[in-house]
């Protein structure tokens, strides 16, 4: 059962092997951790933006970096349980957003 849902910032820190995040993550069972399809969209969209920007003339190295980053992100995200975006979940999260 999922007990922790990572936000996009924590996923990014985990991808970059942040020592504090890694230390905490290693204490958890993988079955207790999930991400959302919204996290996936945000991370993949970031790489799509990098690819689009690097598609300008003279950016071959940066374009290669962006495609490697996209592939790496897909592989990394594939290791997580991805929670769907549903109407029911949206209504559960709305009161939490109102508090922030």
pLDDT, position 99? 53
Residue 52's CB is within 10 A of a number of other CB atoms, namely 11
* pLDDT digits 0-9 by tens, 61-85: 999 999 999 999 999 999 999 999 8
pLDDT, position 2? 78
> In the structure encoding, which two tokens stand for residue 89, read together?
């979940």
* pLDDT digits 0-9 by tens, 18-67: 999 999 999 999 889 999 999 999 999 999 999 999 998 888 899 999 99
């Amino acid at each position: 059962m999922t007990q922790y849902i990572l936000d996009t910032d924590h996923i990014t820190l985990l991808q970059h092997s942040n020592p504090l995040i890694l230390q905490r993550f290693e204490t958890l069972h993988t079955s207790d951790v999930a991400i959302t399809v919204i996290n996936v969209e945000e991370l993949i969209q970031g790489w799509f933006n990098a690819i689009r920007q690097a598609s300008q003339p003279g950016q071959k190295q940066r374009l290669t970096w962006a495609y490697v980053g996209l592939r790496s992100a897909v592989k990394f995200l594939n290791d997580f349980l991805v929670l769907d975006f549903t109407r029911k979940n949206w209504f559960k999260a709305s009161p939490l957003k109102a508090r922030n």
